[in-house]
């Protein structure tokens, strides 16, 4: 676990975080405001990555920068269950639904101060201009998404090595990010990785459609301040048997959170 002095502007010292109204900007053009700042973040992060100095602290700082830019554009954040990460000594597998680009760039600011972490990402993300070197600098597990069997092998082998190194792994089991939760495509890859390495799974439920997916470029969707960003960490789960019971508990956790947040439209 990182020392407090390494990370500034932490919101993870408490179990819950809600954006202070004084931090919320009132912008006539929130999308323009945010993406202007996002470009700035990408440029300085890319420079650090190409110099080989984009370490965990710089990654955290850029993630905080994104979160604060979203708040400046008027987007309210609500994070809960943060203390559940502290209930486990050592690494875990985080299993989360996947809705937008937002979670990929904001979750590091929530998890990294508590647990060293990396993501399982699609290969195409590692090839994007500006963002590609940034993503690759954080040693992600890269999958192609075209061959599920090969992806399973990659995640189990590389994930096992990363967990042995004390690094937690974030997996988005859905085939692609999208608005509604598709239970049929929500696979159990995270559970398999956790069971193989005898580590717990921590489910994450999130609603991040305040950063909408774009029609042509998913990362360039509209910023909608009328929608609140929700992220909730669940209780750690130990995978037993074939993992079907825990898999259902993860799905129940996510769907129940959607209902709690008044977002039944996503189920």
- The pLDDT profile of the chain, 267 residues, written as one tens digit per residue, is 444 457 888 999 999 999 999 889 877 899 999 999 999 999 999 999 999 999 999 999 999 999 999 999 999 999 999 999 999 999 999 999 999 999 999 999 999 999 999 999 988 888 888 899 999 999 999 998 678 889 999 999 999 999 999 999 999 998 777 778 888 889 999 999 999 999 999 999 999 999 998 786 777 889 999 999 999 999 999 999 999 999 999 999 999 999 999 999 998
Classify residue 181: in a domain, yes or no. yes
Q: Which domain holds residue 231?
A: 76-261
CATH code where residue 146 lies: 3.40.1130.10
Q: How many structural domains are present in the chain? A: 1
Tell me the C-alpha distance between 153 and 36, whole Å: 39
CA angle 204, 43, 173 (to 5 degrees): 20
The verdict on residue 50 lying in a domain is no
CB count in 10 Å sphere of residue 249: 15
Neighbouring CB atoms inside 10 A of 185's CB total: 11
207 in any annotated domain:
yes
Assigned domain for 57 exists: no
**262: alpha, beta or left, given left = phi > 0 and alpha = psi -120 to 50?**
left
Buried b (16+ CB within 10 A) or exposed e, 64-100: bbbbbbbbbbbbbbebbbbebbeebeebbbbbbbbbb
β-bridge pairing 201-207 and 229-233: antiparallel
Q: Is residue 188 part of a domain?
A: yes
Supply the pTM of this predicted model.
0.94
């Amino acid at each position: 676990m990182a020392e407090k002095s390494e990370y500034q502007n932490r919101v993870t010292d408490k179990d819950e975080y809600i954006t202070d109204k004084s931090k919320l900007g009132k912008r006539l053009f929130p999308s323009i405001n945010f993406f202007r700042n996002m470009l700035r973040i990408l440029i300085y992060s890319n420079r650090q990555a190409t110099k080989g100095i984009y370490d965990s602290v710089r990654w955290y700082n850029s993630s905080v920068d994104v979160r604060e830019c979203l708040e400046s554009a008027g987007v309210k954040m609500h994070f809960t269950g943060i203390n559940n990460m502290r209930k486990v000594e050592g690494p875990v597998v985080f299993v989360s639904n996947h809705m937008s680009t937002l979670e990929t760039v904001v979750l590091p600011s929530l998890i990294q101060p508590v647990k060293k972490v990396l993501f399982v990402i699609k290969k195409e993300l590692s090839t994007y201009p500006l963002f590609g070197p940034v993503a690759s600098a954080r040693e992600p597990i890269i999958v192609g998404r075209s061959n599920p069997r090969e992806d399973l092998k990659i995640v189990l082998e590389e994930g096992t090595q990363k967990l042995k190194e004390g690094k937690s792994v974030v997996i988005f089991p859905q085939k692609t990010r999208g608005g509604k939760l598709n239970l049929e495509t929500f696979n159990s890859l995270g559970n398999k990785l956790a069971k193989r390495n005898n580590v717990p799974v921590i489910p994450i439920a999130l609603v991040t459609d305040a950063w909408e997916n774009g029609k042509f470029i998913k990362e360039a969707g509209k910023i909608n301040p009328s929608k609140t960003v929700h992220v909730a960490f669940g209780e750690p789960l130990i995978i037993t048997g074939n993992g079907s019971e825990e898999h259902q508990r993860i799905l129940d956790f996510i769907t129940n959170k959607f209902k709690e947040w008044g977002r039944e439209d996503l189920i």
